Structure 1
């Protein structure tokens, strides 16, 4: 992608750039939130370098809204670079595509209580494998996240990653893991090994087993531990629960409690029709982020109430992103316990 530099880009000095860039985040934010922009930029700008240790859960979306064009240009400058051969190299990063636009389905609280009870009951009844020492939790997903939506000098349409496969392996204690995301990570994947203590911001299976299964107590803990993390308390609570559900395995009783806790968050609604990244249509629990103007939707099978994936849909125009724009799309294709890192489910794995 070739862009002609504006005069502003050519004359921007470091002090002006520092003024335009967003202020640094709170140092107490989760690793996920700190790295969601940094990791993406570094992977694009330095495709041959070993990526920094990522969080144990994916960034919900990469937002470059309002970033000066000089910074945004760095994202595109290396798009399409191809490295071949040896371990640690990255294949060509697929060029971003225009974000899809969908009809905005209305949300309602009319069926919230009954819908959540159906979802929670199904979660409680679902058999969940218990990972043992030496085993790994395997999650295979299809994903697409926002790359860039708007810069100071370019009001082009929002761009997203093409839908692609992402595979994650995590040990029950959260200390060891692996991430394989062809085109977005070095060839063969990157390590998720970490000494970070498990928490709501970096949850392991063992940590999740310690959480209360009473919805009220669970929600109080979530509000307390995510207080002041850069968004409204309600949005932070909703996002945190969504992150616990998407790329992790949780005990059945806790999963049910998380859904019941989510129903108590002000602003949560039921969306009757939503589609995940795999094209599966279902019903959704959703919450609108009043700052960014997008609505995060957790999508469930209409008959079995099994979790399918998530979607981000712009519901009000912010920074030029038009309503109906899909800023994020995910689909969980497989969730299992396997006996070794990098092993895929089969004779040695137990599906979830």
Structure 2
């Protein structure tokens, strides 16, 4: 590798700073070079040691701008999936434990790249009627739930058998091994489908609420899944920068099949969504249709 290759490699790794940030660093670099020429033979500048010094100086120039200005997320220059998911678990454990009231609703707002938004209001204990957009979702009370949005107007509001499905989950494992076993059990005959498993992980992190220990176990369990990769410098559906965890599609899948990519904040490792969607609000409200 010659000097130019070394410089090019360093520049591609670190990224380029804006022009207005380069001038001071350029002057320092030239001043240093002039000083060395006064004390060493002219040919010194091209020996191997000087090449390494020049590459280091070039690194200082291209890295002069703050990370958020050059698109380099803190700590994820070469992201590792296990590290990212482990940090996501640590972040989840720091979330405050604030159990909602049973009569409240989980409100989640999701934004998409086309500026379309999705809003849902799910009953915390699963017994009250919620909303997905403007459409009602029947709550399950005494083993019966009203039907809404049916194709047959005669069935609108009729009762059907049900089991309450609380959106606030207190029934999930709190250790990585137990959570992984739970995910595999839920997958059933899809157990070997890593991409499908990624969808299950995303589903639990998306429009449900887990206790902090279960959230942590979810990401710790994901870290044990083989075949995952981390992708630097991705954005979620709202354009927020982050690092992505890619769940590969199974061999033999259609060429149109896309891997699930779950995006985390590159600094805090908080769950953000996917490149196609972004969870921008997730909180509790007192009534279906109410916004925070």
TM class by shorter-chain length?
0.5 to 0.7
Residues 23-76 of structure 1 show CA distances to partners (whole Å, capped at 9, x for unaligned) of: xxxxxxxxxxxxxxxxxxxxxxxxxxxxxxxxxxxxxxxxxxxxxxxxxxxxxx
Q: In 1, are the aligned partners of 2:194 and 2:249 still within 8 Å (CA)?
A: no
Q: In 1, are the aligned partners of 2:130 and 2:138 still within 8 Å (CA)?
A: yes
Distance 2:124 2:82 in 1: 32
Q: In 2, are the aligned partners of 1:282 and 1:299 still within 8 Å (CA)?
A: yes
Residues 128-160 of structure 1 show CA distances to partners (whole Å, capped at 9, x for unaligned) of: 43111211111111136xxxxxxxxxxxxxxxx
Structure with max Cα Rg: 2
Q: Which residue of 1 aligns with 2:117?
A: 165
Q: In 1, are the aligned partners of 2:91 and 2:268 still within 8 Å (CA)?
A: yes
Q: Which residue of 1 aligns with 2:219?
A: 259
Distance 1:172 1:294 in 2: 32
Residues 318-345 of structure 1 show CA distances to partners (whole Å, capped at 9, x for unaligned) of: xxxxxxxxxxx11011011111111111
In structure 2, which of residues 119, 128, 135 is the aligned counterpart of residue 176 of structure 1?
A: 128
Q: State the secondary structure of the residue aligned to 1:279.
A: coil
Q: State the secondary structure of the residue aligned to 1:235.
A: helix
Q: Gaps (5+ residues) in structure 2?
A: 1-76, 146-161
In structure 2, which of residues 251, 264, 267 is the aligned counterpart of residue 303 of structure 1?
A: 267
Q: Which residue of 1 aligns with 2:181?
A: 220
1:1-352 to structure 2, matched below 5 A, reads 111-143=80-112, 162-181=114-133, 188-194=134-140, 195=145, 196-197=162-163, 204-206=166-168, 208-229=169-190, 232-290=192-250, 291-292=253-254, 293-311=257-275, 329-345=276-292
Q: Which residue of 1 aligns with 2:61?
A: none
Q: In 2, are the aligned partners of 1:166 and 1:179 still within 8 Å (CA)?
A: no
User: RMSD of aligned C-alpha atoms?
Assistant: 2.5
- TM-score norm. by structure 1 comes to 0.50
CA apart distance, 1:191: 2.5
Q: In 2, are the aligned partners of 1:179 and 1:189 still within 8 Å (CA)?
A: yes
CA apart distance, 1:204: 3.0
- TM-score norm. by structure 2 comes to 0.60
Q: Gaps (5+ residues) in structure 1?
A: 1-107, 145-161, 182-187, 312-328, 346-352
Deviates more, 1:283-292 or 1:329-338: 283-292
Residues 233-276 of structure 1 show CA distances to partners (whole Å, capped at 9, x for unaligned) of: 43332211111111122211111110011111121121112111
Residues 75-130 of structure 1 show CA distances to partners (whole Å, capped at 9, x for unaligned) of: xxxxxxxxxxxxxxxxxxxxxxxxxxxxxxxxx99722222221111111022431
Q: State the secondary structure of the residue aligned to 2:209.
A: coil
- Specify which structure has the higher proportion of helix: 2
Q: What is the number of equivalent residue pairs in this alignment?
A: 193
